[in-house]
Amino acid sequence: MPKYGHRLVFPSVRNSLAKFAPVKNSIKKFTQQMSDAANCYMCKTMKAIKGIEMCPRHLKEYNYFKTKSMVNSLDLSGASPPGIFVGRAGYPKVFAGPLIPPAHGDTIIMDTPEMWNGLAINDIVSFRSQLVRGMKPVKIMGEESRYLDVVKELALAKDSAEIEAKFTRTPRGGSFSEDSQPFGPSAPIKDIMIGSMKTEQSIEKAYSDTDLLAVDAVMSLYEKGIYISKIQRSFSAGLFGLGKRRKLVPTRWSITAVDSTLSKAISDNVKQNPTIDEFRVYYHEYFDNRWAVLMMPYEWSYELIEAWYPETLWNPASSIMIFSDHENNEGKKEYSRIGGCFYSARLAVSELLQKERKQASIVIMRETHPGYILPLGVWFTRNSVRECMEKQPAKFDNLSAALNFVSEKLSIKMERWLQNSSVLRNVMHQRKLGSFVN
CB atoms within 10 A of CB 82: 28
Residue where a domain stops, chosen among 136, 163, 194:
194
254 & 295 share domain: no
Question: Both 409 and 296 in a single domain?
Answer: yes
Is 267 within the bounds of a domain?
Answer: no
Q: What is the pLDDT of residue 180?
A: 63
Q: What is the mean pLDDT of residues 279-306?
A: 97
Q: What is the pLDDT of residue 126?
A: 87
Over residues 193-210, the pLDDT tens digits come to 999 889 999 999 999 999
What's the CA gap between 284 and 389, in Å, rounded?
9
Which of 136, 162, 194 corresponds to the end of one domain? Answer: 194
Domain match, 129 and 238 both: no
- The answer to whether residues 340 and 248 belong to one domain is no
Q: Does residue 237 sit in the same domain as residue 356?
A: no
Tell whether 270 is covered by a domain. Answer: no
Q: Do 206 and 137 share a structural domain? A: no
Lowest mean pLDDT among 71-80, 166-175, 384-393, 426-435: 426-435
| Residue range 93-102, pLDDT digits in tens | 999 999 999 9
| Percent of the chain whose pLDDT exceeds 90 | 68
- Give the span between the Cα atoms of 269 and 336, in whole angstroms: 21
What mean pLDDT do residues 309-330 have? 86
DSSP string computed for 297-325: SSS-EEEEEEEEPTTBTTB-SSS-EEEEE
In a domain, 285, yes or no: yes
Tell me if 205 sits within 8 A of 213, measured CB to CB.
Answer: no
Asked if residues 359 and 270 have their Cβ atoms less than 8 Å apart, the reply is yes
Contact call for residues 272 and 244 (beta carbons, < 8 A): no
How many domains, in total, are found in the chain?
Answer: 3
* Same-domain check for residues 16 and 130: yes
Examine the pLDDT at 303 and tell me if it is beyond 70: yes
Containing domain of residue 283, as a range?
279-437
User: Does residue 391 share a domain with residue 315?
Assistant: yes
- 237 and 145 part of one domain: no
What is the band of 51 on the pLDDT scale with cuts at 50, 70, 90? low
Using an 8 Å Cβ cutoff, are 82 and 161 in contact?
A: yes
162 in the same domain as 205: no
Query: Beta strands 186-194 and 132-139: pairing type?
Result: parallel
- Assigned domain for 4 exists: no
pLDDT confidence tier of residue 69, bands split at 50, 70 and 90: confident
This prediction's pTM: 0.86
Q: Please report the pLDDT score of residue 428 as a whole number.
A: 87
Arithmetic mean of pLDDT, 387-393: 97
- Does residue 435 have a pLDDT over 80? no
What are the beta bridge partners of residue 187?
Answer: 134
Confidence of residue 16 (pLDDT cuts 50, 70, 90): very low
Structure confidence at residue 313 (pLDDT): 66
